[in-house]
Amino acid sequence: MTKTAKFFIVMAMILVFAGAASAATFINIGTGSTGGTYYPVGAGMAKVWNNAIPGMKANAQSTGGTAQNLALLGKGEAEVIFADGLYFFAYEGKGTFEGKPMKELRGLVPLYAEPIHFLVAKGSNIKSIQDLKGKRVSVGAVGSGTEVTVRTLLKVAGIDPDKDIRAENLGLSDTAGAFADKNIDAALTVGALGIAGVVEITTLGTAEFRDIPADVVAKLGKELPYYLPFEIPANTYKDQTKPVKAMASWNVLITTEKLGDEDVYKMTKALYEHKQDILNISTRLASMSPENLKYIQVPLHKGAEKYYREIGAIK
């Protein structure tokens, strides 16, 4: 073989490999901390997409959660993110996104709800949120999303969290310990159904549930539109024999309109066709169902919409 022939063969191979590389679709998924639900589920989704969609190279990135994920998405450093209700404020340009609306946000799939759990010490005479006045109440760790939500809830219920209660800034694990040591009278905490801290509290029998009144639910919904009425099903926790009226923010999978329609169609389809692989990682994703599309509060991506229309989930 002549040197010229070898040269052309090598060049042809380079062009083939270059073409294959350029055909690859790279998807970085913004998730959460490695100890949470977002990261392992995101890694599972990446695996599904890599196996089911030729040319797709998906990767899950550990992050600080929704706020960082939105920043990554805005800078083009992530193509898909896990997000709690903060994504709605980003889309609308409210709160910390004032004057900087992210109108390019688009929905992919609903994931799972994170209800507000209203717990009071076992045998307590606290029957309603108004009865919290003068009580020791766990409102969440300083600066957490839980604290922001709980303080807003208390205010719409007519309670000043700085004056009317003895607010305790405790994370969920510390809240469980405080109930056990009788150092708090009540707690308002946010977390997915079956979250470990609430399971611990109810298993030990140190606290019991109270309903969040409908009028408070309605008022909080006006202040934080991503919170919607929700019912904690009976027997979700030990000795919780009746449904509990609450409200919840939905976690969703978000992308932007920049991601190609056909890619998003294939990604959405693959997640539902391989849902069991995701459930094997976390049973919370049982609610990843087209019937929960109503909880996504930004427009669906056209590629995702194509899939949902195809299966008859939307008209």
Contact 294, 248 (CB under 8 A): no
Residue (of 251, 248, 254, 266) closest to 300 by Cα position: 254
Q: What is the pLDDT along the chain (315 residues), one digit of tens a residue?
A: 555 545 545 454 544 444 444 478 999 999 988 877 899 999 999 999 999 999 999 999 998 888 899 999 999 999 999 998 889 989 999 888 899 999 999 999 999 999 999 999 999 999 999 999 999 999 988 877 788 889 999 999 999 999 999 999 998 889 999 999 999 999 999 888 988 889 999 999 999 999 999 999 999 988 888 898 999 999 999 999 999 999 999 999 999 999 999 999 999 999 999 999 999 999 999 999 999 999 999 999 999 999 999 999 998
Residue (of 134, 129, 298) closest to 225 by Cα position: 298
> Can you tell me the distance from the alpha carbon of 253 to that of 248, in angstroms, rounded to the nearest whole number?
16
Q: What is the pLDDT of residue 1?
A: 56
How many other C-beta atoms are found inside a 10 Å radius of the C-beta of residue 102? 18
> Can you tell me the distance from the alpha carbon of 89 to that of 94, in angstroms, rounded to the nearest whole number?
5
Triad 168, 118, 283: Cα angle to 5°: 110
